Structure 1
């Protein structure tokens, strides 16, 4: 079958590799990251006669005619944030499909692995669904569930979602060949649309429970890659911090939230219910351990 691929980042390259190994024909690739000037991206993985276009082409006048000339059987979207116009969605003879790193309808939208961690979920999932004019509203073709581990970060959960998505894509490619792609309505339940921006304006509040603060920091953590939310920010002893790593102590406190405690080895901060270890922070662009931050604060920090 003829496939037009709209894709970004590593998941897009993995999908391209699967497509080429499947025997289906990639007619074109549309991407912002994989077609960036100076980047090998998808070009190194494509025959010279297969066009690699910027994803903004989707909204350009005449896009439907240009893509329609390729006579696509399938349109596949992998982690692209571009909204596909209805005229383009109507082109593929066998359907348009989207890989989504969350369970639907509960986690539609953007950055959903991070939202799952922030919300304290213990189970998450991925969905491969038929595309329609809405955002993540189409019928489900395949879905898979996976656990959210207590130490998961935005990066680690996103990577496991990407692995699960590739398994769903393999099933789609096999069923396309057999003409047996399933289609069922999304499960009943409330629809949550996760927005792109960082929750709480990107700021942490020491008055929150320690587990809420820990989840916020882990949800924002995509190191060594840039975080879509940045690191949570807060202030201690008049110093503005970006929180990179914190640790739960399970030690209750009645100290005023934001109070620091230094025992000569560990630097803790009082939250709404427990002491929270400041393991790794960023101050003025410099990454510091809790001990290094304690030394920097000096006279502003009383020994426990």
Structure 2
């Protein structure tokens, strides 16, 4: 009789829950979920899977219950090499951006700020060097004109969940797909402490195109913002903004001039005029 493939999962959110559903459907046994996230906890309770402290001694846990795979899905804990070496096949992580170009934190925001035209969801092997392991699967998609950091993060999660379906047959067989060749790609890594445009400052030297990119990159809706709030610097002080949108003009002015002020918007005419919403 073929041995049942098993795994631990660490992380949270509905991304973990929906990927774990795919594992269970394929006959993979989930030995436990390291999480304190409500969505992941609810999934574990529904499936009778133990919920474990995500800050627990992972070496001890994986030594006591040997597994074939460790899946890291929306997990913000950096796992040491001693943990990553314990799964018999591999430790695999979901990353919400293309590698190695957008490694690290808040990569959807950085992609928008830098004007990237496309993005990707990635599943890769984990190594001690964060986001540096071999890419196992990736799926690219175009960045929409009106994408924000929040919407792009959500879209990447959906793509990642769908892409996981391509990984599951390998997992059920106790294997991995052939790695993607990324040897010719640029590598960048973004720290949690890195800040876009000094935290989102929009000043006299900021073009309208860049101001719009700043706004989209720092738009996390009602969720906690890890990077900062777009801030228009004026002679009267700083003005926090929620949105920046460009309005094309046929007769752009040589300098920035305020042409309209309302309770909800400040309209500026400039060489590349924009609309700033507070």
Query: TM bucket by the smaller chain?
Result: 0.7 to 0.9
SS in 2 for 1:144: strand
What's the CA shift for 1:249? 1.3
| Mapping 1:23-38, distance limit 5 Å | 23-32=27-36, 34=37
Asked if 1 retains the 8 angstrom alpha-carbon contact of 2:11 and 2:35, the reply is yes
Confirm or deny that 1:242 pairs with 2:240. Answer: yes
What's the CA shift for 1:73? 0.9
**What are structure 2's unaligned runs of at least 5 residues?**
none
CA deviation digits over 1:75-120, x for unaligned, max 9? 0011212111111111111111011111111111111111111000
Aligned partner (choices 98, 102, 107) of residue 103 of structure 1: 98
Q: Where does residue 204 of structure 1 map in the other structure?
A: 201
Q: Where does residue 169 of structure 1 map in the other structure?
A: 164
SS in 1 for 2:55: helix
SS in 1 for 2:30: strand
Q: Where does residue 52 of structure 2 map in the other structure?
A: 53
Q: Structure 1 residues 203, 209: closer, same or farther in 2, change over 3 A? A: same
SS in 2 for 1:56: coil
Instruction: Give the whole-Å Cα distance in 2 for the aligned partners of 1:8 and 1:164.
Output: 17
What's the CA shift for 1:149? 1.2
TM-score (norm 1): 0.80
What's the CA shift for 1:167? 1.7
Instruction: Give the whole-Å Cα distance in 1 for the aligned partners of 2:222 and 2:117.
Output: 24
Confirm or deny that 1:186 pairs with 2:182. Answer: yes
Q: Where does residue 195 of structure 1 map in the other structure?
A: 191
Asked if 1 retains the 8 angstrom alpha-carbon contact of 2:62 and 2:87, the reply is no
CA deviation digits over 1:112-134, x for unaligned, max 9? 11111100011111211111121
TM-score (norm 2): 0.87
Instruction: Give the whole-Å Cα distance in 1 for the aligned partners of 2:51 and 2:184.
Output: 39
Count of residue correspondences: 267
Asked if 2 retains the 8 angstrom alpha-carbon contact of 1:236 and 1:260, the reply is no
- Shifted more, 68-77 versus 223-232: the winner is 223-232
Confirm or deny that 1:253 pairs with 2:247. Answer: no
CA deviation digits over 1:185-209, x for unaligned, max 9? 5332221102223323313233211
Asked if 2 retains the 8 angstrom alpha-carbon contact of 1:220 and 1:227, the reply is yes
Asked if 2 retains the 8 angstrom alpha-carbon contact of 1:217 and 1:245, the reply is yes
| Mapping 1:93-132, distance limit 5 Å | 93-132=88-127
Asked if 1 retains the 8 angstrom alpha-carbon contact of 2:219 and 2:242, the reply is yes
SS in 2 for 1:162: helix
Instruction: Answer 1 or 2: higher relative contact order, Cα 8 Å, separation at least 6.
Output: 2
Pairwise CA RMSD? 2.2
